[in-house]
Amino acid sequence: MDQITHTGDIHPKAAYHRKHVVISDLIAFAALLVFVVIVVVVDQWLKPAFEPTILLVIGVVLALVPALLWQFMFYRLDSAEPEPVANVAKVFVIGLALASAIGIPLTDQFFHVHDWLYRDTPTQVLGSIFIIGGVEAFIVFATVRFFIYDEAEFDERSDGVVYGTAAALGYATALNLQFILSNRGAAIGPAEIFVAETALAHAALGGLLGYFLGKAKMQHEPVWWMSLGFVIAMTLNGVFYLLRGQVVEASTGIFSGGQFPSFAGLLLSGAMAAVMSGLAAYLIRRDVHLTMAGLMPARAADADVGDATSTRVVVIVFVLTLLIGALVWNGAVNTTTAFQADGIRGAYPSYFKATAQPDELLHVTDTLGSGAEFIVIAEPSPASEAMPVQDIATLVTADRASRYPVYKILENGKASVGGIPALRLRFAYVETGGLGRSAPQMKQGIDYVLIKGGRAIIITMITTPEMLQDTTTLFSRFVNSLVL
Interval 200-220: pLDDT, tens = 899 989 999 999 999 888 887
Q: Are 184 and 56 a contacting pair, CB within 8 Å?
A: yes
**What value does the mean pLDDT of the chain take?**
83
Structural domain includes residue 1: no
Q: Are 81 and 150 in contact (CB under 8 A)?
A: no
Would you say residue 8 lies in a domain? no
First to last CA, the chain: 78
Q: What are the tens digits of pLDDT across the range 87-145? A: 999 999 999 999 999 999 999 999 989 888 887 888 889 999 999 999 999 999 999 99
In a domain? residue 418? yes
Q: Assess whether 55 and 84 both reside in one domain.
A: yes
Whether residue 267 lies inside any domain: the answer is: yes
Owning domain of residue 328: 20-334
Is residue 243 located within the same domain as residue 370? no
Q: Kindly report the pTM of this predicted structure.
A: 0.80
What is the crossing angle of helices 303-334 and 188-218, to 10°? 140
Contact of 474 with 372, CB cutoff 8 Å: yes
Closest CA to 371 of 433, 438, 448, 327: 433
Same domain, 166 and 284: yes
Domain shared by 182 and 161, yes or no: yes
Distance, in Å, from the CA atom of 322 to the CA atom of 320, rounded to the nearest integer, reads 5
In whole angstroms, give the CA distance from residue 169 to residue 429.
46
Q: What does the pLDDT look like over 15-27, one tens digit per residue?
A: 555 556 667 767 7
Same domain, 351 and 299: no
Asked whether the beta carbons of 479 and 459 are under 8 A apart, the reply is: yes
Asked if residue 407 belongs to a domain, the reply is yes
Q: Which of 271, 301, 334 is the last residue of a domain?
A: 334
**Is residue 9 in a domain?**
no
Task: Give me the residues paired with residue 462 across strands.
Answer: 373, 445
Residue where a domain stops, chosen among 311, 334, 357: 334
Tally of domains in the chain: 2
Confidence band of 248 (pLDDT split at 50, 70, 90): low
**What is the pLDDT at residue 119?**
79
Rounded to the nearest 10 degrees, what angle do helices 264-292 and 188-218 cross at? 10
Question: 218: exposed, middle or buried (C-beta count within 10 Å: 0-12, 13-18, 19+)?
Answer: buried
- Inside any domain, residue 42: yes
Same-domain status, 196 and 87: yes
- CB-based contact 80:1 (threshold 8 Å): yes
